[in-house]
Structure 1
Amino acid sequence: MAKPFVSEASLAVADAEALVGGLAAYWAGYDVEVETVGSCVTARLGLGSGVLEPDGERLKLRLEAEDLGKLELLRSYATETLCGFLKDEALVIDWRGHMATGATFADFREVRLVSNVPVAPRVRRLTFTGSDVARFGSEADLHVRLYFPPDGLETPEWPRPGPDGRTIWPADDRRPEVRYYTVRRFLPQRDELEIDFVIHADEGPGSAFAARARPGAVCGMAGPLGRGAPAAGWTLLAGDETALPAIARILERMPRDACGAAFIEIDSAVDEMAIDHPSGVALRWLYRRGAPAGATDLLFQAVASAHLPPDADPFVWVACEYSASKAIRKHLRATRGLARDRHLVVGYWQRDMVEAAA
């Protein structure tokens, strides 16, 4: 196993032990795996791990990640989180170890749009190319961060890592919008990536880009990150439109003798799309029939009623609205008794935040 990329820091705080306890409770509330040994806390944060150790009136920090790009993002997250907890926006953390040396993040690439075609009534498939885009075709990680520059900006400007760990952004009128998307397919023979965009009525930055962008348009891409479903004797996949590209990719990459079930919530049959999947995996579409996204219990009921063969070592992968994901995760653990390593349930979006922005 390759050695991890590491950053360490030590900073003076009034009550380091209370701060560590507060951070552990905060992360546990978001289903982060937290391990406490004495006063030392280790948090598995997806991008990597963070170790926090109170030492009198100082807090020792150690971050580890498998590559420099994930370490830079983890360092930015840790810095911003500490600033929030300490209510000190002027806090400067002197990080040591693997540090940024480039003009942008280590995992960032500028990419160009090659084609933009419809594949379903509300889905468009965008194909991108650029330097070293093969890194985004990871088998293990599904997602990338896409950076959409403001309309009319002749020369895009991109974020970069600051010396204190924070992200340095361009001025507001030049700042790109960031959204997460699933890489549907990497085409190594052409150095191209395909990404499916669901076109929403509220037309956020991603939908707006997909609806209007023409070949040659430029955006930024960083990653990859975000786990899929590991090989299992029986697999249950469930999600709404936001998870459709990820579920489609997982299904298409499954062994042809795989067994399981997949539930995908959409508005109506018009939103269905062809997905190549093993014959042993039952694919079922769940229709909201005009109900707002995130307002039904269709996914919860589908997961709750699904039979998980106990002798097949099942794995459950779910991505949907945040409140629904919490209810499904609670059901899988409290009612089904699934261990943490036999399921992955993620909230891709929050309905109340979408409504507040409307």
Structure 2
Amino acid sequence: MDQLSAQALISDEATRSAMDRLRAEHGEFEIETGVADRWELRLHYGSLSATLEGDAMLVRVAATDETCLSYMKMTVAGHVAEHLGTTKGIHWQGDGSDAGTPVFFREITVMSSTRISAHMQRLRFAGKDLGRFTHGGLHMRLLLPPPGRRLVWPTMGADGLIVWPSGDDALAVRVYTIRAVDAASGWLDVDFVLHPGQETPAATFAQNAQAGDVIGMIGPGGGDAPMAQTLLLLGDDTALPAIGRILEHLPPSTRAEALIEVDGPDDRIALAQGDNIDITWLYRHGREAGTAGLLPAALRERSHMALADGLYVWAGCEFGDFREIRKIVRKQWSLSRDRHLVTAYWRRDAQGENGGGED
């Protein structure tokens, strides 16, 4: 597959030291080059190499398409900004655009809104050029503009970082799962967990959405559906959209069991069925989400599965459950990193982004 690439020549000593720290922090992804003055990392979205040229460092990123190339530029610039507070030494040359609308941005318009369970609202959005959102990650970021103002969307800076609208034009940004997407017909579905009485921008938007409302999205990201002989899925309400999508695209040769925590029977939604799929619903019965501990408890009851052929454990849930589940699969079940993905989709009492369907 053809590779796109871009490079930046960095002569600032501080920026070079930040790149060396990036190398050290991602040591497990380093590829042996056999060259003393050159190192290379193979990351999720592409590759990154750095070569010493006299007093300067030539940083090169490569990826299979413009979206992944842009993500790689952001990886470099974001790391430098995190360590130095500035990216003044980074000016990219080569493939990809350095300014204007991000290649991974789309403006989307509400087509319809449907309540699919007691606490879940499904919005269907119309959008153009959605093909890139059918692969390369289950998730994307929704960009929610302030009500009553003209739409101001992000742009790209010459350093490869997103330049966000600020002040009265600042956007609320939340991570959600693409529940379903039909690029040929130009629509995608997003499921939102509702939170009555709470200040949650995305859920509030979903509850009040009308056909014609316009928001933005950037993506995709967050990893694709796992491929395995035996798949164990765990999640709460926020992971339901991802679990639903994973089960819909499950190969017949894969056996999957899903453990799903919701408040009660009214929160169940229809999921894919088959002889190779088992679904267990776990009910909180009014206990606060993230406090019941039902998912770790159910996982411990399935310790016999640790020995299953080709097992992969996938989980998305509140931070406390995330820590317990990760401890079980890593320490008690001794699953290697390539046989599990456990993610904190949200955190109790914390504002900000999440991984799948809850503010």
| Normalised-by-shorter TM-score class | 0.7 to 0.9
The residue aligned with 2:109 is: 112
2:177 to 182, 196, 206: 182
The residue aligned with 1:156 is: 151
Question: 2:118 aligned with 1:121, yes or no?
Answer: yes
Structure 2 letter corresponding to 1:278: G
Cα 1:90/1:225, change in 2 over 3 Å = closer
Give the distance between the partners of 2:57 and 2:286, measured in 1 at CA: 52
The residue aligned with 1:325 is: 322
Question: 2:163 aligned with 1:168, yes or no?
Answer: yes
CA contact (8 A) 2:99 2:157 kept: no
Give the RMSD, CA atoms, in angstroms: 3.0
In structure 2, the residue corresponding to 1:354 is in which secondary structure? coil
CA contact (8 A) 1:16 1:56 kept: no
CA contact (8 A) 1:20 1:53 kept: no
TM-score when normalising by structure 2: 0.84
1:196 to 191, 195, 202: 191
Moved more, 53-62 or 284-293: 53-62
Structure 1 letter corresponding to 2:116: V
1:50 to 43, 48, 51: 48
Give the distance between the partners of 1:59 and 1:167, measured in 2 at CA: 23
Question: 2:122 aligned with 1:144, yes or no?
Answer: no
Cα 1:34/1:323, change in 2 over 3 Å = farther
Count matched residues: 348
The structure, 1 or 2, with the larger RCO (C-alpha pairs under 8 Å, 6+ apart) is 2
In structure 1, the residue corresponding to 2:178 is in which secondary structure? strand
The residue aligned with 1:294 is: 290
In structure 1, the residue corresponding to 2:131 is in which secondary structure? helix
Question: 2:130 aligned with 1:133, yes or no?
Answer: yes
Question: 2:65 aligned with 1:67, yes or no?
Answer: yes
Structure 1: segments with no counterpart, 5+ residues: none
Instruction: State the Cα distance separating 1:266 from its structure 2 match.
Output: 1.9
Give the distance between the partners of 1:162 and 1:20, measured in 2 at CA: 19
Cα 1:56/1:340, change in 2 over 3 Å = farther
In structure 1, the residue corresponding to 2:159 is in which secondary structure? coil
CA offset digits 1:142-162 (Å, max 9, x no partner): 122221111112x31111111
Written as runs of structure 1 = structure 2, the 5 A alignment for 1:269-288 is 269-288=265-284
In structure 2, the residue corresponding to 1:319 is in which secondary structure? strand
Give the distance between the partners of 1:70 and 1:270, measured in 2 at CA: 40
CA offset digits 1:4-23 (Å, max 9, x no partner): 33232232344678645643
Structure 2: segments with no counterpart, 5+ residues: 353-358
Cα 1:149/1:249, change in 2 over 3 Å = same
Instruction: State the Cα distance separating 1:296 from its structure 2 match.
Output: 4.1
In structure 1, the residue corresponding to 2:289 is in which secondary structure? coil
CA offset digits 1:228-278 (Å, max 9, x no partner): 333322110111222110001111221346423111122233322221232
Give the distance between the partners of 1:199 and 1:260, measured in 2 at CA: 28
